[in-house]
Amino acid sequence: MLLLLFVDLDPDLAVLRPLGGFFVLRTAGEALQSLPTLARAYGNPVPAGRADPLTFRVRKVADTLRAPESRIAASVAQQGLAARLWSVALGCAALYGHLPDLDARLLHWDPDGSAPDDLWLAEVRPLPADPATVADAVLHGHLEPLAAALNARHRVAAGLLWGNAGSALAGAARQLVQWARAHGRTDAAAHAHALTAELFAHPLLAGTGTLTGTAFRRRSCCLYYRVPGGGLCGDCCFTRAPRSSPRAPSE
């Protein structure tokens, strides 16, 4: 029988800190007052004269990458935020055995920050960390409204965005499992692996690719190869970058 070594969900989520930037979730600071919530980012664009944090983020990524199309930058921005959300959720589930309430109204975000995305949680409210609760928190609470906003504002196809979500989940799980095994936490590694497999059975993720152990091969392309100097990601559906500009799978 596998013994799971959980600790209480502390107010600072300190157990996540050794895992690195994608997993850390800050719970205090001036940002809670000065930065928008993710709920605001996902909502309808604000009236003229006020900043739209999601569009601001996409433009920032586009400028940084010199992306030739806004939907490329939107794809990259979405995958980065998805990776952060999955990392926090999986890390808490595997190491605490609980999930903090990740309600988009409680999570503050700096759209002008560097990667990984800067996130702050206004209040730590413990929830169970079963697959249904994790899926509800990340898939339904964040990735669905984020995909809808990006599709409406930047015409990014749903298949591409859900492929990004699957890729981000697999990447977060792979990093967490590697860390756990390296630090003698085989219980956390096994728990993370099992939770990830159950999440990939969810209808929104089931068709995004193939998960084999911690390896993932997606069925869509994130478009990063179209960035100047960019190439194919390790889990891309392509084996070589297209020379012309056909629409990639699931665009």
215-218 and 119-121 as β-strands: parallel, antiparallel, unpaired? unpaired
**How confident is the model over 86-143, as pLDDT tens digits?**
999 999 999 999 999 999 999 999 999 998 999 999 999 999 999 999 999 999 999 9
- Looking at the domain assignment, is residue 231 inside a domain? no
- Looking at the domain assignment, is residue 8 inside a domain? no
- Looking at the domain assignment, is residue 3 inside a domain? no
Q: How many domains does the chain have?
A: 1
Amino acid of residue 159: G
**Please, are residues 166 and 208 in contact by the beta-carbon 8 Å criterion?**
yes
- Looking at the domain assignment, is residue 206 inside a domain? yes
Cβ-Cβ contacts under 8 Å for 229 (sequence gap 6 or more) = none
- Looking at the domain assignment, is residue 163 inside a domain? yes
**How confident is the model over 57-67, as pLDDT tens digits?**
999 999 999 99
> In this predicted structure, what is the pLDDT of residue 49?
41
**Partners of 126 in the β-ladder:** 100
- Looking at the domain assignment, is residue 235 inside a domain? no
Peptide bond into 100 cis (omega under 30): no
The pTM of this model reads: 0.92
Give the number of other CB atoms < 10 A from CB of residue 128.
Answer: 11
- Looking at the domain assignment, is residue 234 inside a domain? no
More confident residue, 229 or 116: 116
**Please, are residues 238 and 221 in contact by the beta-carbon 8 Å criterion?**
yes
Report the C-alpha gap between 230 and 176 in whole angstroms: 26
Quick one: average pLDDT of 192-220? 94
- Looking at the domain assignment, is residue 67 inside a domain? yes
Instruction: Domain of residue 122: give its range.
Output: 14-226
